[in-house]
A and B are shown apart, each in its own frame.
Chain A
Amino acid sequence: MKLFRLMAVLLVTIAAVPVAAHHSFSAEYDFNKPLKLKGKVTEMKWANPHAWIYIDVAGKDNKVEKWAWETGGANALYRRGWRKEDLVAGTVLVIDGYQARNGSKTANATSITFENGKRLFAGSSSQNSATK
């Protein structure tokens, strides 16, 4: 039920999450390192100016890699109906975006796809932004 509510909120709203960058994403992330990872949510860090989604990804030799994905800010998510507890641990996601230039396991999310194939924008960068 909770996931259903989240999906409903996301479907209606995520595509319009505004850009609220406080720094240059183009400076921080690497155009030459596009990334698509499937993983399980371990935590959502509800923060400004950007929220973070942490996922566990099965890496090489089945070793678990921990990845941090930067998304839109908590205030933008709140205004669109998200609540802190909505993205529950264990939810499986495929996230698209770009890896940080400093080589850490950090990336900027340009879209989030749920297991059922619904593709949703994360809105931390320019894609589908209503307000800039």
Chain B
Amino acid sequence: MLLRRQACVLLGLFLISAALISCSRSPASSAGSIPRTADGKPDFSGIWQVRNRAAADLEDHVARHQAPAGKGVVQGGPIPYQPWAAAKKIENARNRATADPLATCYMPGVPRIMYMEFPFQIFQTPDHIAMTFEWSQVHRTIYTNGAPAPDGIDFWMGDSRGRWEGDTLVVDVKNHNDRTWFDLAGNFHSEALHVVERYTMRDVNTIDYEATIDDPKVFTRTWTIKMPLHRQTEADRIFEYQCQAEAEEASGAFEPDPKTWYPGPSVTVQTPAEWKDVQTVWKAPAPKGTIKRMPDGKPDLQGYFMPDGGGGNYGLGKHEQDFLTPEGRGVIVDPPDGTLPMQAWAKAEAESRKAPERGYDDPTAHCFVAGVPRSMYVPSPLQILQPPGYLVILHERMSWRTIPLDGRPHLSDHLRLWQGDSIGRWEGDTLVIETTNLNGKTWLNEVGEIVSHAERVVERLTPIDVDTIHYEATVSDPLVYTRPWTIAFALNRQKDELLEVACHEDNQDLQHLKDIRNEARAKAKGQS
């Protein structure tokens, strides 16, 4: 037995050394050692990040405030600007503290997002390669299904269509706007930008990344940047950096709510034991037709979906239209009376949030992410992907949820996130997702229905025919409610791909809402 184990170890060592030798001899001969998907393509799945200073400046650069010195990544000489554009670049650099789109947390665009000092995760299916970024919950989808790019619309993050050239993924990124930069040094482009990215796996932990930049309005010729992306082998998830939310919290523009925000490790909230029984009273909905299945036999939930949220974004219970607030049919299925079982203080708080001067306090008015379960019923489409080991939800309103299905434990209680920590598992044909570690900063809707940092959510997604997923979410929040409650509605398949909602970037409403709040505060102060 021991001998057999030793033989195995020896054989293993031999194989590893053979692989190492073959890697060091010729990169081409290492092709066999890279991970591959079931359909034989190089498998880029994983968490990646650069280890360079390209985010500060694509060219060789000295150190400046908050921009360490570094070597350039531009191949073969300086960026070939047209004369007017070279002058503009110098002006950009001079004004970068305010003129850089990132200084106001605008989306970085492509390729800049690829070499910022924030990790991102790649999820790969035969038809789509999704990238979810730590920076502000931005995501990209590279379509590898042959579908054409849309015309007549531009995006901060461009439109990405990929194809395979041998083991290299080649991505055409078009439909850019002219509002993003390449780096903190003011290197810029116009809306005529066309980026061709090339992703080639050098070894299991390295992707050679290359982007060729073409913009005839700004440059005299095409030019190329090149750098490795490194696998973040120690990370099993990426978390979040909500750029605008952090900026507004730091400046005081978005104020903490001590009633709901996570106060820190000093407070522990226990969910009453009897609530757990209420959560498990659940019967799977009967299928209404055939459902699609993955090769492993699990339901295939993939596609683009529009929630039939029943007006939940304007009140989860049944309600009439109130001025410009739409009516709702009511999506609460438990308690049976269809109302939220709020504690007395929460009823009073929810009532006060309906006042016009509280409109400013809704995080989504600031374009912050909607949280769970609200992201599932805001009236905006979502895309579901099922790469191996995960369910990934991409929201058109630029946020994502990546849900591992490997039974890993939840995060430590102290680590709180806008979208929480979601872990999934299959129960028959139902995908059950448990979400914890929420930060208590989100509202359930525009009328201010409440959740706190004690919120835990169990969602159930059950396909009932090829075009419909029955969605239920049970919310347990002992700080706000007298018992758990459940909402239910359908996610309906739509043909349209996701577009991109840039919200904060063109948010003209927030200032109005702030004026209304400030006026009310001034009035209250005058009266006191």
Instruction: List A residues at the B interface (Cβ < 8 Å).
Output: 18-29, 31, 45, 47-50, 52, 68, 70, 73-75, 78-79, 83-84, 98, 100-102, 104, 106, 108, 125-126, 129, 131-132
Contact = CB atoms under 8 A, between A and B. Distances in A.
Contact of A28 (B311, B364, B516): B516
Interface in B182-220: none
Contacts of A47: 502, 506, 508
Given A31-B323, A98-B324, A102-B512, A132 B397 contact: no
A26 B306 contact: no
A24 B365 contact: yes
Grouping DSSP codes into helix (H, G, I), strand (E, B) and loop, the B interface class, with mixed when no group exceeds half, is loop
Given A21-B313, A22-B364, A132-B314, A27 B501 contact: no
Given A22-B397, A49-B501, A125 B512 contact: no
Given A22-B397, A47-B506, A73 B501 contact: yes
A7 to B, nearest CB: 18
A102 B324 contact: no
A48 B506 contact: yes
Nearest to A77: B153
Interface of B: 150, 152-153, 306, 308-311, 313-314, 321-328, 355-360, 362, 364-365, 367, 378-380, 396-397, 446-447, 496, 499-503, 506-510, 512-513, 515-516, 519
Contact of B509 (A20, A50, A75): A50
19 contacts: A20-B380, A24-B359, A24-B447, A26-B322, A26-B323, A27-B355, A28-B512, A48-B500, A48-B506, A49-B367, A49-B501, A50-B509, A75-B499, A78-B153, A78-B499, A84-B152, A101-B512, A102-B515, A106-B512
Nearest to B516: A101
B325 A24 contact: yes
Contacts of A24: 324-325, 356, 359, 362, 365, 446-447
B326 A132 contact: yes
Contacts of B499: 75, 78-79
B320 to A, nearest CB: 10
Contacts, number: 129
A22 B365 contact: yes
Contact of A75 (B309, B321, B447, B501): B501
Contact of B367 (A22, A28, A75): A22
Nearest to A131: B379
Contact of B365 (A18, A23, A29, A100): A23
A18 B358 contact: no
B359 A125 contact: no
Given A27-B358, A75-B501, A49 B311 contact: no
A29 B326 contact: no
Contacts of A29: 323-324
